[in-house]
Amino acid sequence: MIVEEFMIPGVVAVTPAKHADARGFFSEVYNRERFREAGIEAEFVQDNHSLSTRRGVIRGLHFQSPPHAQGKLVRVTRGAALDVVVDIRHGSPTFGQHVAVELSAENWKQLWVPPGLAHAFCTLSDNVEFLYKVTDYYAPECDFGLAFDDPALGIEWPVAPGDAILSEKDRAHPRLHDLPAYFTFGKNS
Q: How far is CA 48 from CA 54, 66, 109, in A?
A: 19, 20, 17
Nearest to 64 by CA among 46, 83, 50, 38: 46
Calculate the dihedral angle through the C-alpha atoms of 20, 25, 31, 34, rounding to the nearest 10 degrees.
20
For this structure, is 182 an active site residue?
Answer: no
Compute the C-alpha angle 80/11/48, nearest 5°: 50
3-class secondary structure, 52: strand
Q: Of 30, 68, 90, 132, which one is the catalytic site residue?
A: 132
Span 88-116, mean pLDDT? Answer: 97
Q: What is the pLDDT of residues 153-168, one digit of tens each?
A: 999 999 998 999 999 9
Q: Of 62, 98, 119, 173, which one is the catalytic site residue?
A: 62
pTM for the full model? Answer: 0.94
pLDDT of 99: 98
pLDDT of 186: 83
3-class secondary structure, 81: strand
pLDDT of 126: 98
Element (H, E) at 140: none
Could you tell me if 115 and 133 are in contact, meaning their C-beta atoms sit under 8 angstroms apart? no
Nearest to 147 by CA among 161, 131, 133, 126: 161
Q: How far apart are CA 48 and CA 177, in angstroms?
A: 30
For this structure, is 132 an active site residue?
Answer: yes
Residue 64: pLDDT band (50, 70, 90) is: very high
